[in-house]
Amino acid sequence: MRTAYSVETVRAAERELMARLPEGTLMRRAAAGLAASCAGLLRRVYGARIVLLVGPGDNGGDALYAGARLARRGAGVTAVPMDPGRMHPGGLAALLGAGGRVASAVPGRADLVVDGLLGIGGRGGLRPAAAALVERIPPGAVVVAADLPSGVDADTGEVVGAAVRADVTVTFGAYKPGLLIDPGASRAGAVRLVDIGLTLPAPDAQALQHADVAGLLPEPGAASDKYRRGVVGIVAGSARYPGAAVLAVAGALRGGAGAVRYVGPAAVGEAVLARYPETLIGRGRVQAWVVGPGLGDERRAQVLEDPVPVLVDADGLRGLDPQALRARTAPTLLTPHAGEAAALLGVGREEVEAGRLASVRALAQRYGATVLLKGSTTLVCDGTAPVRVNPTGTPWLATAGSGDVLSGLAGSLLAAGLSGPDAASVAAYLHGLAARRAASGAPLHAHEVAEALPAAWRDVRTP
């Protein structure tokens, strides 16, 4: 499990540790890790041209101490301050003592640039002096962010205006949520964690890894039969969108339930059967429902009255009543994309996209449900446990019908007995992995995602 911690939590852990250690120890550890990463990214440290963008706080201090280490190994290191009057004094002395220099403008050429402008003390969009330095980063230089890319909000991943686009981020003590959630995540590049010895409490966000997912996958045992494995009911499709039903069934058949039942217009049922003859047709007992893909409007309410887990997607999300959902005795899982989330919250779509974490939390709170917010970073929140950030996926998934596959898959996992948050995060993980496999750099169709799910499942189970 990759875990991430808010600024407040990191600061508290740092205070606690700093009180027990000689002054400067943590910064030395951070700088040593940063310098080692930079050295590893250069073909040769000796003679390399390194530029440090130095902010006024301790993030600048990290960069200066790391620069001093690299200068001692023969690199040509130039520090460019955001505010010449405010540079970490100890770090500056170390750099100058090691033969580094300070310049007022960013050199036109560099092999590597260290972004030490802002770390967890950054607030709001970059101020003009910082943004001006970021604009001057020489093309072709490897960009290494200290702790996080400047301009990214550490707690949320939000970016207002300019932000550094790093190739590598060397983060200290703990991952911050903003390194895992877009748009911040896409600015961070590859993230490396330097252990500085912090003791941390429960995380604010977490990202499942293969081993976590493998531990959650439902597996049949000797005593299993198709009913014990769970039946998932799919209420989806309409004359206008028959394909949504086929795709949801395609996802559900690969999610571990023992049987998939389709409920909907007869003509759509025939289309489902033509593709998947193993589907049961018509109402009957189920262990979980999926309602919404390509549905039109009517039949949602009856499903929500059934005391089994219900996943609501797409058309099913229109006009949902928070009170009715809160009154349900079984789990509810909502799977909106940004547009649907915006409608559920009564805000603009851009607001959801710019503030994904706040949006998913607000939805879970308001509707008393587990919420899977789809998009460039898929988030899962049940209002209490840490928010789950899906680490798999590809922008090729932005193709019609891929969400239908996801809802069928997640519903199948619910029917197989997983909790709302587990079903949602395992489904997102497998779906993203399947899409990467199926796309491998070329356009992707939704049915190909469904077809790649068994391979993704096997990948996850392979140690």
Ligand X SMILES: NC(=O)C1=CN([C@@H]2O[C@H](COP(=O)(O)OP(=O)(O)OC[C@H]3O[C@@H](n4cnc5c(N)ncnc54)[C@H](OP(=O)(O)O)[C@@H]3O)[C@@H](O)[C@H]2O)[C@@H](O)CC1
Q: Which stretch binds ligand X (CB under 6 A): 26-34, 135-143, 273-281, 439-447?
A: 26-34
**Percent helix, percent strand, percent coil in the chain, to nearest 5:** 40, 15, 40
Rule CB under 5 A: choose which of 150, 171, 332, 370 binds K ion: 150
Interaction of residue 56 with ligand X, rule CB under 6 A: yes
Helix/strand/coil for 350: helix
Q: What, of ligand X, ligand ADP, K ion, none, does residue 253 touch, CB below 5 to 8 Å by kind?
A: none
Cβ atoms of 259 and 201 closer than 8 Å: no
Q: Is 145 in the site for K ion (CB under 5 A)?
A: yes
Nearer to ligand ADP by C-beta: 137 or 398?
398
Give the residue, chosen from 62, 115, 158, 404, that forms a contact with ligand X under the rule CB under 6 A: 62
Question: At 144, is the secondary structure helix, strand, or coil?
Answer: strand
125 is in an annotated binding site: yes
* Burial class of residue 90, CB neighbours in 10 A (0-12, 13-18, 19+): middle
* Residues 234, 408 contacting (CB under 8 angstroms): yes
Query: Both tokens of residue 38?
Result: 């930079």
Closest by CA position to 163, among listed 140, 186, 181: 186
Q: What is the Cα–Cα distance from 9 to 17, expressed in whole angstroms?
A: 12
Of residues 94 through 133, those in contact with ligand X by CB under 6 A are 118-127, 130
Taking CB under 6 A as the criterion, which residues in 302-321 touch ligand ADP?
A: 314
Per-position x/- string for 406-425, each x denoting binding to ligand ADP as judged by CB under 6 A, each - no binding: x-------------------
Residue 284 is labelled as binding a ligand:
no
Residue 93 identity: A
Token pair 């966000």 is at which residue? 205
Name the segment binding ligand ADP (CB under 6 A); options: 136-144, 191-199, 304-312, 395-403. 395-403
User: Does the annotation place 150 within a ligand binding site?
Assistant: yes
> Which of 58/340 has CB closer to K ion?
58
**Is 222:211 a contact under the CB 8 Å cutoff?**
no
333 binds, among ligand ADP, K ion, ligand X, none (CB under 5 to 8 A by kind): none
Q: Which is nearer to ligand X, 176 or 337 (CB)?
A: 176
Residue 356 binds to ligand ADP (criterion: CB under 6 A): no
Among 82-90, 187-195, 316-324, 397-405, the segment contacting ligand ADP (CB under 6 A):
397-405
Q: Is the dihedral of CA 26, 31, 37, 40 positive or negative?
A: negative
Judged by beta carbon distances under 5 to 8 A according to partner kind, the member of ligand X, ligand ADP, K ion, none in contact with residue 401 is ligand ADP
Size of interface with ligand X, in residues (CB under 6 A): 27
Structure tokens at 241: 């969108």
With helix as H, strand as E and coil as C, how does 221-283 read?
CCCCCCCCCCEEEEECCCCCCHHHHHHHHHHHHCCCCCEEEEECCHHHHHHHHHHCCCCEECC
Number of residues that bind ligand ADP (CB under 6 A): 18
132 close to 155: Cβ distance less than 8 angstroms: no
74, 45 Cβ separation under 8 angstroms: yes
In whole angstroms, the minimum distance from the beta carbon of 398 to ligand ADP comes to 4
Q: Report the alpha-carbon angle 366-354-165, nearest 5.
A: 145
- Per-residue string for binding with ligand X, 141-180, x by CB under 6 A? -----xx------------------------x--------
Q: How far, in Å, CA of 317 to CA of 301, rounded?
A: 11
Greatest C-alpha distance within the chain: 80
Stretch of 123-131, 283-291, 295-303, 388-396 contacting ligand ADP, by CB under 6 A: 388-396
Burial of 144 (0-12, 13-18, 19+ CB in 10 A): buried
Tokens of 352: 């959801």
Query: Could you say whether residue 115 binds K ion (CB under 5 A)?
Result: yes
159 touches K ion (CB under 5 A): no
Report in angstroms how near the CB of residue 447 gets to ligand ADP at its nearest.
12
- Contact call for residue 111 and K ion (CB under 5 A): no
Q: Does 448 bind K ion (CB under 5 A)?
A: no
In the list ligand ADP, K ion, ligand X, none, the entry touching 376 (Cβ below 5 to 8 angstroms by class) is ligand ADP
Q: Pick between residue 23 and residue 278 the one whose CB is nearest to ligand X.
A: 23
Using CB under 6 A, pick the residue from 35, 42, 53, 58 that binds ligand X: 58
Would you tell me which residues interact with ligand X (CB under 6 A)?
Answer: 14, 18, 26-27, 30, 55-60, 62, 118-127, 130, 146-147, 172, 196
Would you tell me which residues interact with K ion (CB under 5 A)?
Answer: 115, 145-146, 150
